[in-house]
């Protein structure tokens, strides 16, 4: 249940909305199956990029899951609907995001993140909170930091490891390892394509099962991408370090092992 009596010039009208959460347990083809629908509401404060400065948003987050008991993975879909605070929620939302995934959450009154990894591979999609447009995908936990000490100016970094069925034919090339994205809450500032001259090593570095990836920020402010072989193989970690200068990736001074390259890339 959500009950709002909003204050402010454009938010005087009381609004009430109710959405049910449900659970069902059944036997399908002799397999115990659980289906859950969860609905939650969230109020997002003022200062959302791309919205009027004093506007707040109401988010309705609906997640539907279906899972066979004791089996790995599940089916899940999440819908996030957004309205200005004070608007009747029977009206059409200003945007809706609907994807396969779960655990939708807002960060810093700026972005929306949805977990997309429903089986063994973890990955996330990141969206603009103001209008629901997709910013980028990341296969490592989202890295965030401020580029200024005086005034918080947040930047977000993700690493996309393209799956075999990626829609972008360029990312199916045998030498592709990953794409690093550097973004604000409003736009992608720069993308960097990481490649390897050895197709076999590139395939290993790209593998979800055989490699593990980590993206961190060094004390110098540079972004470090570490890729290690998964246990029980020796780690044999390789690192790519990309400086950040003038609010951009300084690709000219990127450091990478032999036969590994970093170059600017655009979708």
pLDDT digits (tens, 9 = 90+) for 74-116: 899 999 999 999 999 999 999 999 999 999 999 999 999 999 9
* pLDDT top residue among 11 and 172: 172
Whether 190 is covered by a domain: the verdict is yes
Domains of the chain: total:
2
Whether 34 is covered by a domain: the verdict is yes
User: Is residue 112 domain-shared with residue 8, that is, in the same domain?
Assistant: yes
User: Is residue 4 domain-shared with residue 127, that is, in the same domain?
Assistant: yes
Cβ-contact 144, 108 below 8 angstroms: yes
**CA dist 84 to 47, 129, 183, Å?**
13, 12, 25
User: Is residue 124 domain-shared with residue 166, that is, in the same domain?
Assistant: no
Tens-place pLDDT, residues 142-190: 999 999 989 999 999 999 999 988 999 999 999 999 999 999 999 999 9
User: Is residue 2 domain-shared with residue 92, that is, in the same domain?
Assistant: yes
Whether 86 is covered by a domain: the verdict is yes
User: Is residue 105 domain-shared with residue 148, that is, in the same domain?
Assistant: no
Whether 137 is covered by a domain: the verdict is no
User: Is residue 13 domain-shared with residue 127, that is, in the same domain?
Assistant: yes
Look at residue 12 and tell me whether its pLDDT is greater than 70.
no
Q: Residue 173: give the domain boundaries.
A: 142-267
User: Is residue 162 domain-shared with residue 119, that is, in the same domain?
Assistant: no
Whether 181 is covered by a domain: the verdict is yes
User: Is residue 257 domain-shared with residue 148, that is, in the same domain?
Assistant: yes
User: Is residue 151 domain-shared with residue 115, that is, in the same domain?
Assistant: no
Report the pLDDT value the prediction gives residue 31, as an integer from 0 to 100: 86
Q: Where are the beta strands (DSSP E) in 117-185?
A: 124-128, 134-138, 143-146, 154-160, 176-183
Cβ-contact 251, 152 below 8 angstroms: no
Secondary structure of residue 172 in the 3-state scheme: helix
- pTM summary value: 0.89
């Amino acid at each position: 249940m959500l009950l709002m009596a909003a204050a402010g010039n454009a938010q005087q009208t009381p609004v009430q909305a109710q959405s049910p959460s449900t659970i069902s347990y059944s036997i399908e083809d002799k397999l115990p199956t659980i289906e859950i629908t969860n609905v939650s509401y969230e109020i997002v404060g003022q200062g959302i990029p791309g919205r009027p400065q004093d506007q707040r948003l109401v988010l309705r987050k609906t997640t539907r899951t279906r899972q066979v008991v004791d089996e790995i993975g599940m089916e899940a879909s999440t819908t996030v609907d957004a309205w200005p605070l004070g608007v009747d929620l029977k009206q059409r939302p200003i945007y809706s995001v609907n994807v396969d995934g779960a655990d939708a959450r807002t960060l810093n009154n700026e972005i929306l993140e949805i977990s997309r990894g429903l089986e063994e591979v973890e990955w996330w999609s990141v969206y603009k909170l103001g209008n629901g447009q997709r910013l980028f995908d990341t296969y490592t936990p989202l890295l965030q930091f401020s580029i200024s000490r005086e005034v918080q100016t947040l930047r977000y970094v993700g690493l996309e490891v393209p799956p075999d069925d990626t829609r972008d034919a360029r990312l199916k090339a045998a030498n592709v390892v990953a794409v690093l994205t550097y973004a604000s809450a409003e736009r992608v500032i720069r993308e960097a394509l990481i490649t390897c001259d050895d197709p076999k090593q590139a395939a290993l570095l790209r593998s979800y099962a055989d490699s593990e990836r980590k993206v961190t920020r060094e004390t110098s402010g540079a972004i470090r991408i570490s890729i290690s072989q998964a246990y029980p193989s020796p780690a044999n970690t390789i690192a790519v370090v990309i400086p950040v200068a003038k609010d951009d990736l300084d690709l000219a001074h990127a450091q990478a092992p032999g036969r590994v390259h970093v170059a600017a890339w655009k979708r």
